[in-house]
């Protein structure tokens, strides 16, 4: 079992960011804009009334969710590439639409499991979130089916869940600082922390 180092994850995230800062800042801006655009269909029914509003609202919501999954897939694939081949990654890597349904299924199962844990008590929800946290990475990286990805995430995080919790706190703190810097700082802190988490995934998936 590889022992995770929070410090190493953060320093690697910074080193990878420093190698291609403008590309990574640009990717953050593109992801932000894409997320804003993805939310537009959800608001399509505003101002409408009756059955048409319900139908348009449901369709708009589903379209927004569908686009959001595509953005999440692209973001995951991009940061995997940015970590593994920093000098070769490009904005084209933000487009990664496969395997779409495996990614959706895994995201939903992981989300449901985490929500159930949070309903029971906050701590179990956090633990479950850590256990299944790398499942979507595994889908993009290795193309596993949802249940297989969840099991593999549980396997690779075993023995390092406390360290992953500490890494999560560090990531949260860094991004709060970025948010406080007039939001603009998030375009810097988000790629740094995403690369730090990606390093954690690569370290643990090597077991």
Region 20-35 average pLDDT: 96
Q: pLDDT at residue 92 above 90?
A: yes
10 Å CB burial of residue 94 (0-12, 13-18, 19+) is: buried
Closest CA to 198 of 111, 145, 133: 133
Count of domains in the chain?
1
Q: Is residue 1 part of a domain?
A: no
Residue 197 is encoded by which pair of tokens? 């988490």
Q: pLDDT at residue 108 above 70?
A: yes
Q: pLDDT at residue 95 above 80?
A: yes
What was the pLDDT predicted at 184? 83
Domain residues for the domain of 57 are 6-205
Confidence of residue 50 (pLDDT cuts 50, 70, 90): low
Q: Is residue 190 part of a domain?
A: yes
Q: Is residue 131 part of a domain?
A: yes
Instruction: For Cα atoms 150, 151, 155, give the angle at the middle one, nearest 5 degrees.
Output: 115
Are 168 and 117 in contact by the 8 Å Cβ rule? The answer is no
Q: Is residue 72 part of a domain?
A: yes
How far is residue 53 CA from its own chain's centroid? 32
Kindly report the pTM of this predicted structure: 0.92
* Residue in this structure with the two tokens 């990475």, named with its chain if needed: 137
The residues, ordered by sequence, that sit 6+ positions from 147 with a Cβ below 8 Å of its Cβ are 109
Confidence of residue 181 (pLDDT cuts 50, 70, 90): confident
Q: Is residue 143 part of a domain?
A: yes
Residue 126 is encoded by which pair of tokens? 């956090």
Average pLDDT, the chain: 93
Q: Is residue 59 part of a domain?
A: yes
Region 119-125 average pLDDT: 82
């Amino acid at each position: 079992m590889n022992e995770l180092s929070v410090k190493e994850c953060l320093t690697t995230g910074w080193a990878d960011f420093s190698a291609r800062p403008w590309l990574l800042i640009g990717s953050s801006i593109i992801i932000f804009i894409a997320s804003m655009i993805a939310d537009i269909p959800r608001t399509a029914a505003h101002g409408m009334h009756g059955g048409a509003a319900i139908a348009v609202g449901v369709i708009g919501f589903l379209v927004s969710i569908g686009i959001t999954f595509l953005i999440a897939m692209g973001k995951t694939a991009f940061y995997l590439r940015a970590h593994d081949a920093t000098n070769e990654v490009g904005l084209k890597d933000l487009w990664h639409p496969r395997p779409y349904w495996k990614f959706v299924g895994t995201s939903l199962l992981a989300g449901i499991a985490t929500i159930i844990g949070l309903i029971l008590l906050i701590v179990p929800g956090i633990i479950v979130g850590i256990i299944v946290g790398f499942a979507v990475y595994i889908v993009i990286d290795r193309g596993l089916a949802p249940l297989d990805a969840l099991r593999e995430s549980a396997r690779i995080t075993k023995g390092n869940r406390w360290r992953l919790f500490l890494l999560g706190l560090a990531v949260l703190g860094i991004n709060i600082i970025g948010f406080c810097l007039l939001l603009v700082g998030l375009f810097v802190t988000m790629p740094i922390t995403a690369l730090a988490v990606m390093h954690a995934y690569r370290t643990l998936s090597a077991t």
